Amino acid sequence: MAGFAGPELPVGLTGLLDLALDLRWTWSHEADSLWRRIDENGWNRTRNPVAVFQSLSKSRLDALAADPAFVEELRRLSQTRASYVERPGWFATAHDPAALAGVAFFSMEFGLSEALPLYAGGLGILAGDFLKTASDLDIPIIGVGLLYQCGYFRQRIDAAGMQQELYPYNDPMSLPVRPVTDDQGGWLSIPLELPGRTLLLRVWQAVVGRTKLYLLDTNDPSNSAVDRGITGKLYDAEPETRLLQEIVLGVGGWRVVQAVAPQVDVCHLNEGHAAFLALERASQFMAKSGLSFPEASVATRAGNIFTTHTPVASGFDRYPLSLVRKYLGCLYDFLARDDAAFETFLGLGRSESDAEPDMLNMAFLALRSSIASFGVSRLHGWVSRGIFQPLFPRWPEAQVPVAHITNGVHIPSWDSEAADAMWTSACGKERWRTLPETLSTDVASISDEALWTARGESRRRLVGQVRVRLKQHLTGRGLQAEIVAHADQVLDPNLLTLGFARRFTGYKRLDLLLRDPDRLARLLTHPTSPIQLVVAGKAHPADEVGKDVIRQWVAMAQHPELRVRLVFLEDYDITLAQELVQGVDVWINTPRRPWEACGTSGMKVLVNGGLNLSELDGWWDEAFTPDVGWAIGQRGAAREDSDQADMQMLYATIEDHIVPEFYDRNHVGVPRRWLARIRQSMAELTPVYSSNRMARDYVEQAYLPAARQLRLRTADQGSAARRMLAWAENLEKHWGNIHVAVPNVVEDDGALSFSAPIYFGDISPGDLRVELYADASENQPAETHALAQNEEIAGSVNGFIYGVAIPATRPPGDYTVLIRPWHSDMTLPTELPLILWQR
């Protein structure tokens, strides 16, 4: 099945369609000249080979087929693509491929290209970068998402400076996707049983190099008009439609995986939106194994990984239990028949202390249905442990089982032509298809002159792109001809260029620089060392405060004395983001700590020689040192009154450090100190904050351990899972009979010796761990020490003395004895959050 209504290809051009449908062109750029040669205007306008391809007449195709040079170039590109796909990559050489059969990466949005606009922001861009990286590194990953009829909105700024939202239709026939066929050659269709009807899901496939992305939509003519609109808009504001989107993604998504890639053993939930896949996965294993739902959940949970991107608990999706019952009761007969099983499932999405007991929390459900959970930066891991603390009552916050793997970006998608040439010269062409250990030292070989030349070329290119975009935007607003013509004079390719672009919302504080407009104006118009500023971003359609901040920036950018140095660009998307991060000298980020989970936009300037000026939040909290960039704010707890201090620090850093260093030139006009900072940033940070490192971390810390556990638990019809559940139920039944007496403490010769009588009741001591715990203090980290079993307590039943000796570095009163479950094959406390403290 072709997948879209395109022209029939003559002999000699048979590889053209496969080349157009492989989204590898979004980062390889090897075929750009080919698409330009076919239709330069069409390519420049759409950057979508499929759209270019569709517009071709038969006579144009015949002419191309008769052009030997074109046919040879097509043959060469097809061969290059085949070589890329067939050559073993990092994973196949670094690990045993049999240890990981496959990973399904579930995400509500994927940002791969403007040719496939299925994203709203950072979550989707991260997902797109992840698939590209999996392709480069040969990791066996597929993506699972939704194909939206409209997706997220496109932004237009009107003549008054206000944001308007537009929702253009995504015609699948002009997107780089094709229908997935079933065994009979027909279009693969996935049924979902809903109240009073069966919903049919169409399945599409996008090719991302070696990786495949499977997309579901409900726009099947067999569905009702209302149901066809379920996949209409990304993040639909209507709760029931949003719930249905997440059922389609989770339940329908797992059914797609079973149809197209049944070998998959690990599911990665990119946020909690796809958490219902855990229910579908357990349900299918119940049918195969004969296990009960709790047993099947223990078995299949081992194959689920959860990443949370949300820094505040209010950001999690919640749905009324009545609404959840309405739909899941139709999908699963065993839930409709067994109210206890339904309550067990619903309990996974609630906590005992939940202020909304009648709501299902999708993030809670995702964490409890997964073997491992991660935040997206070191700081976000700490924040997330606080958010998920209610699921682990009485557990120390530091031991809440949420680790972190800091995000990274797909470097080839974000580097400029000049930067790519510079890195290729220093580090080789294959540098981002492997995990080389010498990148940092290789960057040191780049000369100041080469680095400064690349920066100048990237800045010059950005200025040209901004002028073209601004002219289009001003024309669209209906402004006067002289104002539109002025777009040709904005910005100067030799001036210090600062930029920021992101979602306009309160906590990102995109108005910090606006709070002293006179001071900003002086910076922009300084007679000898001016700055110039490029701003972009969208506000949520319901965020009137964010829209007003956009209006303020647009108004300031139209001021006659400032518009040559300040530009606001509308409709922030992947293409505009690439232009900005490739060209700016300094990327600004001003979130209110610690509300930025990670914030990958600043990572994208690293490869291009851009520097970061950011709040100590997200990734910058762990990346910042004084020789790689600049920081504002302070580490520590968030303060609502920090805005004024942070604003002053932001201005002072620009005025006193950034501007003087950029304009401090030697006798040939080269800023040596500035370039030393760039080189340090590129060498230290680019490899660490690349998605190659992130993907390796997920493979080695999450996917491979999860695959091992899944195979253990699902072998022999799930017998190990059945034993694990019986073990856990026994501990829960007898947990109340455990007693910890007050320990005896002896301080001698710089050591503290603890001995504690423990009475285990009906539980075997081998199923427990006895530990000594001290919480973190201002000057000392949290401590955990294992106590060893010593003599049996005379006259007791299952009672023993436990003891440990530790250095006397803090008062004895800081320490408390605790008991927790222990099982070599279970992930605790995720799967059994029991804990007992001494009285």
Ordered mean pLDDT values, 10 residues apiece, the chain (839 residues):
61 90 94 92 90 87 93 95 94 95 98 94 96 97 97 92 94 93 92 97 97 97 96 94 98 98 98 98 97 96 97 93 95 92 92 83 98 98 96 95 98 94 85 79 88 96 96 89 90 97 93 95 96 97 95 95 96 96 97 94 97 97 97 78 91 98 95 96 95 97 98 98 98 96 92 96 96 91 95 94 96 95 96 94
Q: How far is CA 499 from CA 496, 502, 568, 587, in A?
A: 10, 10, 10, 5
CATH fold of 102-407+699-719: Rossmann fold (3.40.50)
Q: Which residue has the tokens 């085949």?
A: 82
pTM: 0.96
Fold agreement (447-689, 738-837): no
* Backbone phi, psi, residue 799, to 5°: -115, 140
Distance CA 371, CA 302 (A): 5
pLDDT digits (tens, 9 = 90+) for 766-782: 999 999 999 998 888 99
How many residues does the structure list for the chain?
839
> Which top CATH class is 738-837?
mainly beta
Q: How far is CA 106 from CA 109, 272, 423, 615, 830, in A?
A: 9, 10, 33, 31, 21
Contact 137, 692 (CB under 8 A): yes
Q: Which of 734, 738, 743 is nearest to 802 (CA)?
A: 743
| DSSP β-bridge partners for residue 213 | 143, 206
Q: How far is CA 602 from CA 113, 513, 571, 642, 690, in A?
A: 19, 18, 19, 22, 12
The domain limits of the chain are: 16-86, 102-407+699-719, 447-689, 738-837
CATH of domain 447-689: 3.40.50.2000
User: Residue 637 has what pLDDT?
Assistant: 61
| DSSP β-bridge partners for residue 614 | 589, 631
User: Residue 642 has what pLDDT?
Assistant: 87
Long-range contacts of 379-388 (CB under 8 A, 24+ apart): 379/594, 379/617, 379/618, 379/621, 379/622, 380/311, 380/404, 380/594, 380/597, 380/598, 380/618, 382/594, 383/311, 383/594, 383/597, 384/308, 384/311, 387/308, 387/310, 387/312, 387/313, 388/363, 388/364
Q: Vertex 271, ends 269 and 277: CA angle to 5°?
A: 40
Which residues have a Cβ under 8 Å from the Cβ of 406 and sit 6 or more positions away? 376, 377, 378, 598, 619, 622, 689, 694
User: Residue 296 has what pLDDT?
Assistant: 97
Antiparallel, parallel or unpaired: β 566-569 and 211-217: unpaired
Contact 273, 692 (CB under 8 A): no
pLDDT digits (tens, 9 = 90+) for 492-546: 999 999 999 999 999 999 999 999 999 999 999 999 999 999 999 999 999 999 9
pLDDT digits (tens, 9 = 90+) for 111-159: 999 999 999 999 999 999 999 999 999 999 999 999 999 989 999 999 9
Q: Which of 32, 133, 138, 129 is nearest to 85 (CA)?
A: 138
Q: How far is CA 189 from CA 3, 33, 120, 260, in A?
A: 15, 37, 27, 12
